[in-house]
A and B are shown apart, each in its own frame.
Chain A
Amino acid sequence: MTVRIRIQETGESAIRVSGASGDREIDWRVVHKIARAVTTPGIDGVHSAIPTYESVLIEFDAERTSLAAVHAIVQAVAGELDPDEPLTHAPREFVVPVLYGGEHGPDLPDVARLTGWSEEAVIAAHLAPTYVIRCLGAPGGSPMLDGPELPVPVPRLTSPRTHVPQGVVSLAGRQATITPAAAPGGWSLIGRTPFTMIDLSSEPLVPYAPGDSLRFQRIDAERFHELEGQRLRATEAAL
């Protein structure tokens, strides 16, 4: 099976490679596999790859290599990969406790209004899926997920917040995430986890990777305080 991709120049030091198979799952696997292949040691001049849902941004040193050379590398890599092979053979599972609404989820009423659903129905939709971690994004290695099944996409805030604390559980468009680090943000905040996601003393800094799975679990304020500051860890594999 041939892998279909689209390459767009993004300045003299980067290209955006998008999957063009027409199938989201295949596109996602393809761009993540390309990211892995081009950041394998030995490919001169390429210094980073940022794979997301359906595209990967590949950054390189224009002083050491050229757009043409990077194009050729990407085409060669795409020609050799198997788009049907799973991204992760042994995905881990993470369970993230969330306190929904109130001061920790100030946008939950707006999301409910937008969807025409009750707040409880929005929470139920957010709790329902076992999510696949699609990619690590900003800020600080956020686990980027496909959003819950809502009747309409959630628009980004017209006036982004200048400070969103760490641990916030949020929605935008057809996406969902948890923010491991405090940063400005334009996503709708529906809850917060008491867990700490990022650990500067470990490498990688966050415990999960693209391809792992993640579920949310509803907790109350009392449980939130009990769990506050604990590190997110993968669920022990069933024996």
Chain B
Amino acid sequence: MNPTKATVEGRNLIISRTFQAPREQVFRAWTDPLHLPQWWGPQGFTITVQEIDIRPGGVWRYVMHGPDGTDYDNLVTFLDIQAPSRIEYKHGDFENDKHFRVTVTLEEQGQSTLLTMIMQFPTVDALNQTIQQVGAIEGAQSTMERLNQQLSKIAP
């Protein structure tokens, strides 16, 4: 049973996952500039942080470098941050005219934390950017899987 769930509700894409960690810690992983870039980048990609200010109105500007040499510029603008339960931001490219809005909520469930992300159905331009990145990430992942398969055939 896969831990990350995704459904479409109305005009939103809703993604959720439960973490075995206290809410304050999950919140800190999302909102501390020392922590956030550490886990955000996908496997096979590197991230260059150009600017990071995780406060309402603050921005996180970074470039994601793909394994094929393609660069994707990303601009996250924080809209609302309410410790320890809510982060609202918009995610687009450096011009930020194409972007989509995300609301992350954290709910305490005993020793665990339920994280729910609501992504508003993007405009076409924002979607184009997302598709490119999602496609690149998926492509990289399947490349790595194929490489793993090849290596397991070669290994003694």
A binds B: no
Binding site for A on B (CB under 8 A): none
Chain A interface (Cβ < 8 Å from any Cβ of B): none
